[in-house]
Amino acid sequence: MPGPETPSPVTSSLSVSLRPRVTVNYFHEIALKGLNRRMFTRQAADNLKRAIQDTDSRIVERRDMGATLSYPGDAKWPFMAERLERLFGVERFARAYPVTLSMDAIRETVGALLALVALPKTFRISASRADKSFPLTSPEINAQLGAWVRRRTGMTVDLDDPGLDIRVHLRDRTAWLSLEERRGLGGMPIGVSGRVAALLSGGIDSPVAAYRVMSRGCPVTFIHFHSFPLVEGSSREKAKELVDMLTRYQFRSRLHLVSLAEIQKRVLLAAEPDYRVVLYRRFMLRIAEAIALKEGALALVTGESVGQVSSQTLENMLAINAVMTRLPVLRPLVAADKEEIVRMARALGTYEVSIQPDEDCCSLFVPPHPVTRSTPETAAAQEKDLDVEGLVSEAVANAELWRAAWPERGPAG
Ligand code: ATP
Ligand code: MG
């Protein structure tokens, strides 16, 4: 089957030329941003450029709410589509054919396009008009073009679940025809919101939490706590693998690997067993806050949800959160149940990594009945024999930095 990019395009009396472009439409929420809108669309275009840097395509036109890209050829198109599918801020994208704004030209091009694909039994025309200068309304285009396609191909119309959806978008005195339009991720382009630092365990919840905040345009720095050398270091490899997966949504990542081993040994000696988990968590937040401030992050992110485990009763969350001095803690999953979180993790692809067994630093030395109703005061009392500040700055100083980049070409930052 000749590809639509064949050197001698299909022509006719109207000189219909089947030269596709790739059209990208930004998520509608960007349009609501008033004065920030220019900044949002600039960031969206910058991100787009990075996402397609090694796909043999480039931006040929920037629009307010989208962009038009050159078509990379059939061989590269699936690869490029995968990139666009992972780009926050994109509402939809398509391989689309620009046609002169006339019903004759539209019909002829649709006919030429249909000749290139295996026809299913049913179809639908989906017209939309950003350019209102065209004399026909969208329903009129649907009806006229639909009748023509039906006569010509024998396909029948199915508005709900068509085998083929023929899209006709009218804008800028051009009709953009497409047989395959795909949904993007939506959300906000990475970089339009401030940086956050996410506490990434190796569990199911925290990668999902980080992803949710990314979808609001926040670049994420990752922090993982491990108990090496008290235990083997497999949780670190898991954290790296998860960061690699999440980096596909934000281009570059920094992961701070922090050993909690020394602190855990001290807590073991100085505090009541039932308080260990709460104290580990308080240290994690203090260390994470210090790293976040150095990274220029404006908030921490955790995968906590109320009541899920003993350390996540509201009482314990209060006792743990009390150590935060400057930054807020964002908890995107706070009211989600485990089933919903698992569904999101599966869709994201992190689930399979998260369920691999590892030695989590919080499962170490955990008593049979950890406290469920601590308070900031009782927790602080348990820390009275610990050099909290010293332990925190030592852990921060010994943290290792690991970087990831995607697409892999180009320096990691
Ligand atoms: P997760 O599935 O994310 O591990 P969880 O349901 O197991 O969550 P906890 O283990 O209580 O719940 O952890 C709550 C949150 O604390 C995690 O979502 C994560 O943000 C943070 N956290 C826990 N352990 C670690 C760790 N080892 N390194 C970094 N952050 C951690
Ligand atoms: Mg966990």
DSSP 310: G
Mean pLDDT of the chain: 91
Pick the residue with more confidence: 9 or 62? 62
Asked if pLDDT for residue 11 goes beyond 60, the answer is: no
Q: Other C-beta atoms within 10 Å of 389: how many? A: 9
Mean pLDDT of 51-74: 95
* pLDDT tens, residue by residue, 77-114: 999 999 999 999 999 999 999 999 999 999 999 999 99
Answer whether 362 contacts ligand 1 (Cβ < 6 A): yes
Answer whether 361 contacts ligand 1 (Cβ < 6 A): yes
Nearest ligand, measured from the Cα of 305: 1
Pick the residue with more confidence: 288 or 16? 288
User: Which of 199, 201, 264 should be mutated for ligand 1, with most atoms under 8 A from CB?
Assistant: 201
**Beta 174-183 vs 164-171: how paired, if at all?**
antiparallel
Query: So what CATH class is 196-405?
Result: alpha beta
Q: Answer yes or no: are the C-beta atoms of 189 and 159 closer than 8 Å.
A: no
Rounded Cα–Cα distance for residues 395 and 323 (Å):
16
Question: Which CATH code is given to the segment(s) 21-183?
Answer: 3.30.2130.30
Mean pLDDT of 306-319: 85
Answer whether 304 contacts ligand 1 (Cβ < 6 A): yes
Asked if pLDDT for residue 8 goes beyond 50, the answer is: no
Cis peptide before 229 (omega within 30 of 0): yes
pLDDT on residue 408: 77
Domain ranges of the chain: 21-183, 196-405
pLDDT on residue 413: 40
Rounded Cα–Cα distance for residues 57 and 45 (Å):
14
Rounded Cα–Cα distance for residues 394 and 245 (Å):
30
pLDDT band at 369 (very low <50, low <70, confident <90, very high): confident
Answer whether 203 contacts ligand 1 (Cβ < 6 A): yes
Pick the residue with more confidence: 27 or 329? 329
Nearest ligand, measured from the Cα of 204: 1
Rounded Cα–Cα distance for residues 216 and 224 (Å):
22
Asked if pLDDT for residue 344 goes beyond 50, the answer is: yes
